[in-house]
Amino acid sequence: MKQLWKQWIKPQPLSESAYHQQVKQFGYAGQRQKDWIRFFVMLFIFGVFTFLFLSVFQGEVSFELSIFTIRIWEWMLAVFGGGALGVAGFLLQKVTRNNLADVSILGIGSLNIIFITIYIFRFYHDGVSNQELVRQFLPLITISSSILGTGIIYALAKLGQKSQDRFIIIGIGLQFLFEAISIAFVNPNNSGASSSKTSFVFTQINNFALGKFPTEINELAASFSWKLTTLASVVLICLIVGVVWILRRKIDIIEANENLAKSYGINVELIKFVIYFLVALLAGVEAAMIGTIALLGILAPNIAKIIFGNRSSTNVWASFLIGGSLVLLAAFISVNLVLDIPIGFLSTAVITPYFIYMIIRKRD
Amino acid sequence: MNSNQPEIFTFNRLKFNYQAPKKWRKYLVYALITLVGLIILMVITMINVRYANNGRFGFKELFYVFSTNNLFNNNKELLAQLPLDHNNPNNHHTFGSSGYVDLEPIKKAVWVSLASAVAGIGFAIAGSITQGLTNNPIADPTTFGITESAVFGAVVMNVLVGNLVHADIYQYVFLSFVFLGGAIAIWFILLIIKSGGAKKNHYLKITLVGLAIGIFFRTINFLLRSTNADAQKTALAAALGGGENMYSLYSSQYSILYLGLIFMSIALVLAVIFGWKLTVLELGENKAAALGVNTKIVKVVGLIIVLISVPVAVSLVGNVAFVGLFAPHVIRMLLRTRSYSIIIPLSALLGAITLSLGLTLHILYRSIPSSIYMVFIGAPMLIYLGWTQKG
C-alpha cells in the first residue's frame, strides 16, 4: 500500500533522474502532474453536475430529505450506468483495436432489450411485491443475455480472422436484426394479456429501450430488495473497474502488439477472454440500471484519449468519469428543463454531432 | 465482390478484343427475367388486393368493381348491380342491394399495394446508385441516414405548417418538406464524395457517419414527437414504416401516388440511361475520365436521382430499411454482373417484389408491419456482406 502511494499517487518532485525517466516514458516532463490537474478539473465538473442534480428539482433549489432520498438513487443509476458504458466501450475499443466499437453499435444492447421484454412478459403479474421481485432478478437476466451477445461477437471475431471491418459491419447488422425482433415482440396487438399488465409492461420496456429512470422510482426507493440489487450492481461495476485497472499494463501491451505481449509471457487469449467477459458484465448490469444509451461508449473513451493520450492507467477512470458526467448532465436536463425526455435520447442528441465531427476530422 | 472480378475483363474485352457473338442470348435471359419478375409482381399485387380487408372481397367482385369504376369516381348505378358472391361468409352487403357504396377498403388496398411497389423501386435505385457513387458495398438510404432525414422533414412539416395547410394541397407540401429533409443527408454524402470519396475515406467510416446521422435524426424526431401533438401521428407512422400506416396521413391519397409514379419513372429512366457511366466510374475516376466520362456530371445526376427517389418512396411507405442494400447485391450475385444498366432495372423490380411480399406477410400476420420484414431480409444480408468483405 505504501509503495503504491509512493509509486503512483504521491506527486513527486522532479529530480534530474526522475525528469529523464519521465521524458523517457511519456515524451515530456510533468505528465503525471498534468494528469492530476486534469483529473481534478474533471472531478470538479462532475461535482458541479452532482450538486445540481441532487439539489435542483423542477427548476427550483430544494434540499428536502424526501426528494433527496429518491434523488440519490437516481444519481447512482445515472453515474454508474454511464460510467459502466464508458468503461465497456473503452475495453471493447482496446480489445478490437477499433476506436468506433461500442456496446450499442455491436447489437448487445438490443439483445438485452429482447431478453428484458420476454422476461417481464413472462414473470410479471399485477402487484407491487411481484414488481420488486422482477426488478430484483432483472440484472441476472440482462447479464446472461449480454454474455450471450458478447459471446456471439467474440465467436465471430475469432472466426472472422480478426478483421475489424467485418466485426463492425456484422455488429451493425446484428443491431438492426435484434431491433426488428424487439419491435415485433413489443407490438401491443401481439399479446393476449390483460390491459393493466400490458400497459405496465410497455412502460417498462419503453423505459429500458429509450433509457429512462424507472417510472415507479418512489416505490422502488422504499424497497429494500431493490436498493440491495442496485448497491450490488454498483459494487460490481467498481470491482470490474478495479480489475481493469490491475490489467492496465497488459491491455496496453496487447493493444500495441500481440506478438510482443506473447514474448513478454502474457497469456493473450486469456486476457482477451477476460476482457470480453468484463464487457458482458458491464453491459448487462447497465442494461438493468438505465437501458440503452446509444453511442456513449464510443464517445467517452475518445474524449479520454484526447485529454490523456492513449494510456489505460488514466483512461479507465477518465472514461468512467466522462460517461457518468454526460449521463448526469442529460438526466439533469431531462428532470428539470425539458420534462420527461429519455436520458438515452438526450445524450444521443448531444453526442451525435460530436461523433460525426470526430469521424470526419480523423484522417487515416 | 471477388466473384465479379471477371466482369471487369469483359469490359476490357469490349474495348480491345471485341467479340460480337452470343450477346443477344444474354439480353434474352435478362428480358426473360424481367418478364418473370413483372408477372410475379402482378400476382403478388393481386393477392395483396384480394386478401386485404380480411379477404372481404372475392376476385369476382373486385373484377366487377375495377371494370365498372375508376378509383376516382364511384359509379353508383353500376355498383348497385354488383353480383355478390353469396358463398363468401365475410361478405356483408357492402355493395348492391343495400345501396351503400363503400369503395374505401378497396381503395386502401390498391393504394398500399401500388405504393409498396413504387417505393421498392425507389429504394432499390437509390441503393444501387449510392453503392456505385461512393464505391461502398454497404451503401443504402438507411445506412446513409437519408430515410431518417426524410422522415425528419415530414415531422418538421407537421410541426411548422401542419395546421395551416389546406387539405387539398397537404400532400404537395408534405412531399416538398420530405424532399428538403432528404436533401440534408444527401448534401452530406456530397461532402464525403468531394472530400475524396472511397479512396481517402474508408467505406466503413462513411457508413458510420451515415448511421450516426440516422440516429441523430431519429432522436430529434422523437423529441419533436413527444413535445408536439400535431407531429405525433406522422412521426409514429413514418418511423415505423409500411404503406398501411402511411395511408391515413393523407386526405387525398391517390394524387400523391400518381405524383410518386411520375417522379419514380423519371428517376428510373434517368438511372438506366446513366447506368453504364456508373459502371465505368466504379473502375476509378481516372480511368473513367480517360474513357470519356464526365465524372462530375455523373455524380451530380446520380445524387439528383437519389434525391428524387428516396423522398418519394419515404412519403409513400415511410421508413423502410435495407431494400436498397440487398436488392442490388442479390442481382449481382445471381446474374454475376457489375453492369449498372442491368443492375438498376432488375434490382428495382426485385425491390418492388420484396416490398409487396412484405405487405403480403403483413396481411397474414397483422401485428408486424411490412417494413420490419425488410429488416429481417436486409440485416442478414448486411452480416453476410460484412463477412465476405476483404479487410
Place A162 in a pLDDT band, splitting at 50, 70 and 90.
low
**Rounded Cα–Cα distance for residues B29 and B121 (Å):** 21
- Which pLDDT does position A233 carry in this prediction? 92
**Rounded Cα–Cα distance for residues A297 and B349 (Å):** 40
Q: Among partner residues B143, B222, B240, which is closest to A345 by beta-carbon distance?
A: B222
With cell 503512483, the residue in question is: A8
Contact A296, A158 (CB under 8 A): no
Most confident of A45-54, A222-231, A287-296, B361-370: A45-54
Contact B19, B13 (CB under 8 A): yes
**Rounded Cα–Cα distance for residues B243 and B360 (Å):** 12
Closest CA to B340 of B279, B280, B290: B279
Select the more confidently predicted residue: A115 or B76.
A115
Closest CA to A115 of A137, A144, A88: A144
Question: Can you give the three-state secondary structure of B226-238, one letter per residue?
Answer: HHCCCCHHHHHHH
Q: Is B187 on the interface with A (CB under 8 A)?
A: no
Mean pLDDT of chain B: 81
Identify all chain B residues contacting A157, using CB atoms and an 8 Å cutoff. none
Q: Among partner residues A170, A172, A349, which is closest to B387 by beta-carbon distance?
A: A170
**Rounded Cα–Cα distance for residues B66 and B81 (Å):** 14
Q: Which residue of A has its CA nearest to B380?
A: A173
Place B266 in a pLDDT band, splitting at 50, 70 and 90.
very high
| Cβ–Cβ below 8 Å for B204 and A173 | no
| Mutation to test the A interface, candidates B219, B240, B388, most A Cβ within 10 Å | B219
> Is B40's pLDDT higher than 90?
yes
Q: CB neighbours (10 Å) of residue A56?
A: 16
Place B366 in a pLDDT band, splitting at 50, 70 and 90.
confident
| Cβ–Cβ below 8 Å for B367 and A187 | yes
- Torsions phi, psi for A57 (to 5 deg): -130, 115
Mean pLDDT of chain A: 81
The answer for residues whose C-beta is within 8 angstroms of residue B102's C-beta and 6 or more apart is B94, B95
- Which pLDDT does position B88 carry in this prediction? 55
> How much is the average pLDDT of A75-95?
92
Considering only CB atoms, which residues of chain A are within 8 Å of chain B? 100, 105, 160-161, 163-170, 172-174, 176-177, 179-180, 183-184, 187, 189-190, 210, 294-295, 338, 340-342, 345, 348-349, 352-353, 355-356, 359-360, 362-364
Contact A281, A240 (CB under 8 A): yes
Identify all chain A residues contacting B366, using CB atoms and an 8 Å cutoff. 189
> Is B12's pLDDT higher than 60?
no
- Which pLDDT does position A186 carry in this prediction? 65
With cell 404537395, the residue in question is: B172
Measure B216 CA to nearest chain A CA, in Å.
Answer: 6
Q: Among partner residues B227, B368, B383, which is closest to A173 by beta-carbon distance?
A: B383
- Which pLDDT does position B225 carry in this prediction? 81
| Cβ–Cβ below 8 Å for A349 and B321 | no
Q: Which residue of B has its CA nearest to A173?
A: B379
Q: Among partner residues A167, A170, A172, which is closest to B211 by beta-carbon distance?
A: A172
Cell reading at B34? 424481367
Contact A127, A196 (CB under 8 A): no
Identify all chain B residues contacting A183, using CB atoms and an 8 Å cutoff. 240, 368, 372
Most confident of A1-5, A22-26, A248-252, B69-73: A248-252
Identify all chain A residues contacting B322, using CB atoms and an 8 Å cutoff. 176
Identify all chain B residues contacting A190, using CB atoms and an 8 Å cutoff. 367
Q: Which residue of A has its CA nearest to B226?
A: A341
> Is A163's pLDDT higher than 80?
no
Return the ∠ at Cα A210 (arms to A122 and A148), rounded to 5°. 55
DSSP B310-362: HHHHHHHH----SHHHHHHHHHHHHHT---HHHHHHHHHHHHHHHHHHHHHHH
Return the ∠ at Cα B341 (arms to B132 and B324), rounded to 5°. 50
Identify all chain B residues contacting A210, using CB atoms and an 8 Å cutoff. 222
Closest CA to B193 of B206, B175, B183, B209: B206
Place A349 in a pLDDT band, splitting at 50, 70 and 90.
confident
| Cβ–Cβ below 8 Å for B223 and A169 | no
User: Counting Cβ atoms within 10 Å, is residue B30 exposed (0-12), middle (13-18) or buried (19+)?
Assistant: middle
Q: Is B209 on the interface with A (CB under 8 A)?
A: yes
Identify all chain A residues contacting B391, using CB atoms and an 8 Å cutoff. 161, 163-166
Place B63 in a pLDDT band, splitting at 50, 70 and 90.
confident
Closest CA to A322 of A85, A99, A102, A96: A85
Cell reading at B236? 409514429
> Is B128's pLDDT higher than 60?
yes
Place A293 in a pLDDT band, splitting at 50, 70 and 90.
confident
- Torsions phi, psi for A267 (to 5 deg): -80, 95
Q: Is B366 on the interface with A (CB under 8 A)?
A: yes
Place B180 in a pLDDT band, splitting at 50, 70 and 90.
very high
Identify all chain B residues contacting A352, using CB atoms and an 8 Å cutoff. 212-213, 215-216, 219
- Which pLDDT does position B215 carry in this prediction? 83
C-alpha distance from residue B98 to each of A4, A362, B105, B273 (Å): 92, 71, 17, 53
> How much is the average pLDDT of A69-89?
91
Classify residue A5 by its DSSP letter: I
Cell reading at B277? 457511366
Give the H or E element holding residue B81: none
Closest CA to B130 of B285, B347, B324: B324
DSSP A82-140: HHHHHHHHHHHHHHHT-TT--TTTTTHHHHHHHHHHHHHHHH--SSHHHHHHHHHHHHH
Lowest mean pLDDT among A169-173, A271-275, B155-159: A169-173
How confident is the model over A216-247, as pLDDT tens digits?
777 787 888 888 999 999 999 999 999 999 99
> How much is the average pLDDT of B16-21?
53
> In chain A, what is the straight-line distance between the N-terminal and C-terminal CA atoms, in Å?
43
| Cβ–Cβ below 8 Å for A364 and B213 | no
Cell reading at B15? 474495348
The answer for residues whose C-beta is within 8 angstroms of residue B127's C-beta and 6 or more apart is B139, B140, B141, B323, B324, B325, B327, B328, B347, B351
Q: CB neighbours (10 Å) of residue A108?
A: 30
Angle between helices A296-308 and A312-336 (to 10 degrees): 130
Contact B34, B346 (CB under 8 A): yes
Q: Where are the alpha helices (DSSP H) in A160-223?
A: 164-186, 195-210, 217-222
> How much is the average pLDDT of B376-384?
89
> Is B355's pLDDT higher than 90?
yes
Angle between helices B203-227 and B146-161 (to 10 degrees): 20
| Cβ–Cβ below 8 Å for A187 and B386 | no
**Rounded Cα–Cα distance for residues B208 and A172 (Å):** 9
- Which pLDDT does position B11 carry in this prediction? 52
> How much is the average pLDDT of B259-280?
92
Distance of CA A58 to the CA centre of its chain: 27
In terms of phi and psi (left: phi > 0; alpha: psi -120 to 50; beta: otherwise), the region of A339 is beta
User: What is the percent of chain B with per-residue pLDDT over 90, rounded to a whole number?
Assistant: 30
Identify all chain A residues contacting B372, using CB atoms and an 8 Å cutoff. 180, 183-184
Q: CB neighbours (10 Å) of residue B248?
A: 11
How confident is the model over A143-161, as pLDDT tens digits?
999 999 888 878 877 776 6
| Cβ–Cβ below 8 Å for B220 and A163 | no
Identify all chain A residues contacting B209, using CB atoms and an 8 Å cutoff. 356, 359-360
**3-class DSSP assignment, residue A214:** coil
**3-class DSSP assignment, residue A61:** strand
| Mutation to test the A interface, candidates B216, B236, B365, most A Cβ within 10 Å | B216
Classify residue A6 by its DSSP letter: I
User: What is the percent of chain A with per-residue pLDDT over 70, rounded to a whole number?
Assistant: 83
> Is A176's pLDDT higher than 80?
yes
Give the H or E element holding residue A360: helix A343-361
> How much is the average pLDDT of A289-295?
83
- Which pLDDT does position A108 carry in this prediction? 85
**Rounded Cα–Cα distance for residues B331 and B350 (Å):** 8
DSSP B50-64: HHHHHH-S-HHHHHH
